[in-house]
Amino acid sequence: MSGTITFTMIKPDAVEANNIGPILSMINKAGFRINAMKYLKLSREDAGKFYAVHKERPFYGELVDYMSSGPIVAAVLSKENAVADFRKLIGATDPTKADEGTIRKLFAKSIAANAVHGSDSDENAAIEASFFFSSLERN
Ligand code: IDP
Ligand code: MG
């Protein structure tokens, strides 16, 4: 692996809309390598654990319901400056505020169903990657 890592999920709305391919293509074209990847459906309990940092926020229940509503793709990505560059590629949380050409601007349905997750720090990228993948599964 070269560079630093970030963690992403293609969320249920984007999987449902058949946008796994176009989103992975944008990720690769932006220079990220895929070091690990899996397709799965989160249980409500696991979605709650993943987003535990948000449990006091008003949208927590909605977020957990949504993230366990259908299959997702989880992946570990690497690139120089991976966390910040990936946040730039995905755009703002609210797709109506996301820059033109970003993944959320192109594919998100709403502020909750916003197509993709991206880690917000190197520390959280490591925690989130290990939530889904053991070191043996990462290349
Ligand atoms: P981020 O995904 O851009 O880092 P966060 O503030 O960490 O945004 O929120 C985590 C996720 O919670 C968002 O991606 C989105 O799916 C959901 N979310 C954030 N704000 C709202 C809201 O105001 N209403 C409903 N869902 C929200
Ligand atoms: Mg976040």
| 26-74 tens-digit pLDDT | 999 999 999 999 999 999 999 999 999 999 999 999 999 999 999 999 9
Give the residue-averaged pLDDT of 15-35: 98
Pocket test for ligand 1, best of 59, 62, 128 (most atoms within 8 A of CB): 59
Question: Directed axis angle between helix 82-90 and helix 122-132, to 10°?
Answer: 80
Query: How high is the pLDDT of residue 1?
Result: 54
Distance from Cα 119 to the centre of ligand 2, integer Å:
6
Distance from Cα 121 to the centre of ligand 2, integer Å:
9
| 54 included as an active-site residue | no
- Token representation of residue 64: 């957990």
Pocket test for ligand 1, best of 111, 117, 124, 127 (most atoms within 8 A of CB): 111
Q: Cα 129 to the chain's mean position, in Å?
A: 11
Percent of the chain with pLDDT over 90: 94
Q: How many Cα atoms occupy the beta-carbon half-sphere of 134 within 13 Å? A: 1
* Pocket residues: Cβ below 6 A from ligand 1: 54, 59, 62-63, 93, 111-112, 114, 117, 120
Specify which residues 38 forms β-bridges with: 74
